[in-house]
Amino acid sequence: MMQALKSVRHLTSSTMKQAVSELCLPVPWGEIKGKVWGPDHGRPVLCLHGWADNCGTFNTLIPLLPKECRYVAVDLAGHGLSSHRPPGVFYSFPLYVADIRTVVDALQWSKFSIIGHSMGGNVAGMFSALYPEMVDAVVLLDSYGFLPTDPKEMPQVIRQGIDEMLQFEKKSKDKKERVYTFEKAVERLLAANPTLSEDSVKILLERGLVQVEGGVVFSRDFRINLKNIVRISLEQSLEMQSRIQASVLVVLAEEGFEKIFAEPDQKKFTSALLQVYRDKNHTVVTVPGDHHIHLNNPEVVAPLVSDFLQTRVLSQSARQTEEQISKL
């Protein structure tokens, strides 16, 4: 453990005025990188970004959240500045959960909170179900915590994912990386993500591009675009969900997943998950905005997240400390 901890390097960033540092953690296939905000001994909060994004997705939100917390936002494997998985290895939620366990073990966090956006929320949901004793609070930003698949569709989906990987590996042997100017890279990401503002795109590209001869290339592993072959059903999702002990805040965007998953077959899955959160007295709120509301307009989301962290994490921690002192 101490050896792992020594290999966590904090590198001073160019935004020291915001007290932000870089995190670099060795893993068997390379490095997991990220950013850190807040005091060394602040209440630990892990921040997990969405699919094809990176930890820059929290750049505008975290400065608006309680200053007593220590926020560690990581680039998930294959995203941002973190290493890609080895050849032949698929990207899946259980592997991301294993990565997160590696990160928190190196940080020596035994109890922490998680803020997860989109796919990061699904990783947060699975982690909180598998390691319920480690997570005290979960914020799901335009995420349901789980993404169920109809069992009848699974054979086709799994086959498609395997076939896509095989085709990708064949083509990648001869395929050259496409080099862009920064302006063209901005254009491409804007076109692919209509919910992002231009400012948000530029924030994500701080970690989403790598300088090469003649311009820049996208840093993410394009294998993340392939069909995910590890799926769980609604029944399995609900079983996982039942094991979460943490307090949960679900913040949905009106123009986000609530609109994307509007088909009756999809709605029955998401409605079932949301109903369980409500039945267990967790908080589910809907805000105006789109899927990246937390990055585009963080002031809409920040008060909800701040109040949740204040009441469910910081206040309870303060009470526990007072109780311990009174027993001395």
**133 contacts: CB under 8 Å, gap ≥ 6:** 111, 245
Strand order through the sheet with 247-255? 9-12, 20-27, 30-37, 69-74, 43-48, 112-117, 135-141, 247-255, 283-290
pLDDT (tens digit, 9 = 90+) per residue, 41-82? 999 999 999 999 999 999 999 999 999 999 999 999 999 999
110 is catalytic: no
pLDDT digits (tens, 9 = 90+) for 122-166: 999 999 999 999 999 999 999 999 999 999 999 999 999 999 999
Residue 14 confidence (pLDDT) above 80: no
CATH number of 2-149+231-327: 3.40.50.1820
Residue 229 contacts residue 202 (beta carbons within 8 Å) = no
Q: What is the mean pLDDT of the chain?
A: 92
pLDDT of 240 strictly over 50 = yes
Tell which residue, 146, 162, 102, 169, has the closest CA to residue 250. 146
Take residue 187 and report the two structure tokens written for it.
């254009």
Q: Where are the domains of the chain?
A: 2-149+231-327
Give pLDDT, residue 322. 59
pLDDT at 304 over 60: yes
> Of the listed 13, 82, 83, 118, which one is catalytic?
118
Q: Is the pLDDT of residue 207 over 70?
A: yes
The pLDDT score that the predictor gives to residue 8 is 43
pLDDT digits (tens, 9 = 90+) for 258-294: 998 888 889 999 999 999 999 999 999 999 999 999 9
More confident call, 188 vs 322: 188
CB 91 within 8 A of CB 77: yes
Tokens of 176: 């050259």
Q: What is the pLDDT of residue 328?
A: 58
1 has pLDDT over 50: no
Query: Is-contact 177 288, C-beta < 8 A?
Result: no
pLDDT > 70 fraction of the chain, expressed in percent and rounded: 91
What is the pairing mode between strands 20-27 and 9-12?
antiparallel
Per-residue buried b or exposed e for 134-143, using 16+ beta carbons within 10 Å of the residue's own CB = bbbbbbbbbb
Sign of CA dihedral 193, 196, 199, 201: negative
Return the pLDDT at 324: 59
> How far is the C-alpha of 148 from the C-alpha of 124, rounded, in Å?
15
| Amino acid 327: pLDDT | 58
